[in-house]
Amino acid sequence: MHIIRSLEEFNPEGPVVLTQGTFDGVHLGHQKILTQLVTRAKQKNGKSVLLTFFPHPRLVLYPEDNELKLITSIEEKAKLLESFGLDYLIILPFTKELSRITAFAFIRDILVNKLRITTIIIGYDHRFGRNREGSIIEIQKYADEFKYEVEQIPEQDINECIVSSSQVRKALLSGDLEAANDFLGRPFSISGTVVSGNNKGTGLGFPTANIGDLDAFKLIPKIGVYAVKIRVKDKDHFGMLNVGLRPTFKLNQLTIETHIFDFSDNIYGQEIEILFVKRWRDERKFEKQEALTRQLTVDKTEIRAFFKQ
């Protein structure tokens, strides 16, 4: 997959079959679009192209709003998109100037003149252009004039609930990991570099890999203990993870600490991927460290048994 960060760099051979959007989380609804996109491009002997935006438009238009957290960083999203066989990922810098372009100008100047689309595939609710004025109606309206085809993806439901990035975010923040993973079609994950901690876990007999330098807008699931898989150098391991403030130690600083079962390698400075498989319990405060150690021992035994099943 070619990653393009400037429209001037884009010069594909053959027909261009394109979809566009933020695609945060690359959930099942997105996957439906991507599958159709790649299939149609192959049928037309063309190139499959996703036009996305970075930063997320809301972060540019409402910089004072710190509530938006993203399911996937731009690096995580690119990795997921590549797995679908996409030919091109175009990451268009989102600016206030770009947000002021009318829907018609966006179609004419960017989609047609710059990207030379022959087919566009979009979701039923996609919006674009100034004040989000553009929709499937505008895309279809100018199809004959600019000689491109339009394919619409209908609304997708899972268990009578619309699949959307906002639904995934709400599920993760509320602690409903099972629903979030169902929406995503895979375990929610966090990728990051292992950094030195304060060795509290080691002192308890449960050494941890601590993740640091996360994207400032990366969504962190609800505080608690999770059963996780940890991917280190393309090899999977099992473990348990705590997202929390470590109230027993009164540190009052949010951390992501992972205890990897049967693992003793030095991985400081290495990037790992953590896949959240099951939310196990809420974070608790213990009056004594011995009580915390006993609880961690119970958690480890139960989570090991869970993965063996």
The C-alpha torsion from 162 through 163 and 168 to 171, rounded to 10°, is 40
Say if 2-160 and 188-308 have the same CATH topology. no
Chain-centroid distance of CA 17 in Å reads 23
Residue 232 zone, left/alpha/beta (φ > 0; ψ -120 to 50; rest): beta
Task: Tell me 175's DSSP state.
Answer: T
Tens digits of pLDDT across the chain (309 residues): 999 999 999 998 899 999 999 999 999 989 988 999 999 999 999 999 999 999 988 888 888 877 889 999 999 999 999 999 999 999 999 999 999 999 999 999 999 999 999 999 988 788 899 888 989 999 999 999 999 999 988 765 444 456 889 999 999 999 999 999 999 999 999 998 998 776 665 656 788 898 877 788 899 999 999 999 999 998 999 999 999 876 555 566 788 899 999 998 999 999 999 999 999 999 888 878 888 899 999 999 999 999 998
CATH architecture for the domain at 188-308: Beta Barrel (2.40)
Going by C-alpha positions, the residue among 207, 157, 209, 206 that lies closest to residue 183 is 157
CATH number of the 2-160 domain: 3.40.50.620
Residue 183 near residue 158, CB atoms below 8 Å = yes
What's the 3-state SS for 183-233?
A: HHCCCEEEEEEEECCCCHHHHHCCCCEEEECCCCCECCCCCEEEEEEEEEC
Q: End-to-end CA distance of the chain, in Å?
A: 37
Backbone φ and ψ of 163, nearest 5°: -80, 115
Which tokens in the block code for residue 152?
């619409």
Q: Is the omega angle on the peptide bond into residue 63 within 30 degrees of 0, that is, cis?
A: no
> Tokens 């480890």 label which residue?
300
| Cβ atoms of 243 and 256 closer than 8 Å | yes
Sketch the domain layout of the chain as residue ranges: 2-160, 188-308
Q: How many CB atoms lie within 10 A of CB 73?
A: 20
Nearest to 300 by CA among 215, 217, 226, 194: 226
Left if phi > 0, otherwise alpha if psi is -120 to 50, otherwise beta: which for 288? beta
Name residue 272's beta-bridge partners.
192
Encoded amino acid at 304, one letter: R
**CB neighbour class for 47 (10 Å; exposed up to 12, middle 13-18, buried from 19):** buried
